[in-house]
Amino acid sequence: MTVSTTVSSIIPAQFDIFAGVDVDKKSMATTFTDHGTLFKSLRLPYSSTQLLNYVDKHFPGKRIAFVYEAGPTGFGLHDDLMAQHRTCLVVASSMVATAPGNRVKTNRLDSKKLSVQLRGGELRGIHVPGRRYRELRHLVQLRDTQTRQLTATKCRIKALLLCEGIEFPERSGYWNAAAIDQLRRLPCTSEVRFKLDHLIGTLYFHFNSAALVQKRIRQFCQNDPELRQSISLLSSLPGVGGITAAHAVARFGDWREIKNVRQIAGFLGLVSSEHSTGEKENRGPITRSGDSRLRNKIIQCAWVAINKDPELRAFYRSVYQRQPKKVAARKAIVAVARKLTTRMYVVLKEQRPYIIRPEISAAPLTAEETVGPRERLDASQNEQL
């Protein structure tokens, strides 16, 4: 069984020295404080070895807690410190308190702020994924990048034709081989033809790149029994395909470290924001925190799920009927996506596939209960590659 190495919080009384580290590409601004009057700031090269050598020389035998903000330098420093049995928190920069009137920002001051807040027990670490989950994230991000570029190239082709007053060719399917062939034979000037051919070549490049990356994702997950099992369990949910399942596993990390059923929905920003005081409750729209691409994919999956699972369809209808017509479909489908995250938690924690209950039945949705095709992304398009 995988042992968690993520530190979410510390008890300050258990440590003697608190090291706040502000990391950039080449150096680390580090501030050390203790429970008394110690305050020491210095700049070190970006090297975990030099940092450990310094603390071993100047603070021998002391219990030291390290903290730094998550950023472009990744989790290498965290891994090195944890490998040496040191306590290290990685915190989200958005969750580090900053005085509203503070107009001076330097690496030294940032490291001091981290050290002081760590000493006060005010910081909470984020989940640090294991190596294989980080590698899967790289592949998932690369595929999404190619998919976005593919969509952008399609928009550029349509914009070019619109600018030149040329109608998009009639086709039986959207952006199928027949439509591309007609684009190649459209009558236009030589310069427009050159640009159009270049865009068509770019279209094929991004399509083939996305397909190649998706193939690599499947191979990577098939070679890892735990990743393969988690993706298989998530894919058993109605509406969830292999692409969404792989993205979810990459973002969630080790399923053993998911603490409660609300954690996934909160991570994806599918919970309501709230600003309440006293007896007054004021809840707003969803927080939209976390990975927006994965959140969008799960909402797309929810549209397919309500057509496959009678229980989810009945739940969608019950929420829809309680909302104003203008926003009923959007609120109802977000509620279904929230329920999908609950099912994701259950299948991962209990390590069993989801089975649709045949005894539950619900009438098909009417046209008034769903939004138009231009307002809704079909999850089937998301699972094509």
DSSP label at residue 129 = -
Residue 272 to residue 287: CA distance in whole angstroms? 6
pLDDT attached to residue 171: 64
Residues of the chain with pLDDT under 70: 1-5, 171-173, 371-385
If asked whether residues 257 and 363 sit together in one domain, one would say: yes
pLDDT attached to residue 372: 42
If asked whether residues 232 and 308 sit together in one domain, one would say: yes
If asked whether residues 305 and 340 sit together in one domain, one would say: yes
pLDDT attached to residue 380: 40
Would you say how long the chain is, in residues? 385
Consecutive H or E run containing 285: strand 283-286
If asked whether residues 97 and 236 sit together in one domain, one would say: no
**Tally of structural domains, the chain:** 3
Q: Look up residue 105 and give its amino acid.
A: K
* Of the residues 58, 87, 119, the one at which a domain ends: 119
Q: And the tokens for 300?
A: 């797309």
pLDDT attached to residue 299: 96
Residue 6 lies in a domain: no
The whole-model pTM stands at: 0.87
* Of the residues 51, 85, 119, the one at which a domain ends: 119
pLDDT attached to residue 217: 97
pLDDT attached to residue 206: 96
Residue 125 lies in a domain: no
Residue 135 lies in a domain: yes
If asked whether residues 192 and 168 sit together in one domain, one would say: yes
pLDDT attached to residue 268: 94
If asked whether residues 113 and 142 sit together in one domain, one would say: no
If asked whether residues 177 and 233 sit together in one domain, one would say: no
Residue 7 lies in a domain: no
Range of the domain at 137: 131-223
pLDDT attached to residue 371: 62
pLDDT attached to residue 207: 95
Residue 215 lies in a domain: yes
Phi/psi of residue 367, each to 5°?
Answer: -65, -30
* Of the residues 92, 119, 146, the one at which a domain ends: 119
Instruction: Tell me, rounded to whole angstroms, the distance of Cα 151 from its chain centroid.
Output: 20
Residue 350 to residue 208: CA distance in whole angstroms? 37
Instruction: Tell me, rounded to whole angstroms, the distance of Cα 239 from its chain centroid.
Output: 19
Three-state DSSP state, 39: strand
Residue 5 lies in a domain: no
pLDDT attached to residue 366: 81
If asked whether residues 94 and 146 sit together in one domain, one would say: no
If asked whether residues 103 and 176 sit together in one domain, one would say: no
Residue 279 lies in a domain: no
Contact 249, 134 (CB under 8 A): no
Contact 95, 8 (CB under 8 A): no
Q: Which residues pair with residue 67 across a beta bridge?
A: 20, 89
If asked whether residues 46 and 115 sit together in one domain, one would say: yes
Q: Could you tell me which of 217, 59, 27, 56 has the C-alpha nearest to residue 137?
A: 217
Residue 278 lies in a domain: no
Residue 164 to residue 284: CA distance in whole angstroms? 45
- Region of 211 please: left (phi>0), alpha (psi -120 to 50) or beta: alpha
If asked whether residues 167 and 145 sit together in one domain, one would say: yes
pLDDT attached to residue 7: 83
If asked whether residues 231 and 367 sit together in one domain, one would say: yes
Consecutive H or E run containing 23: strand 17-23
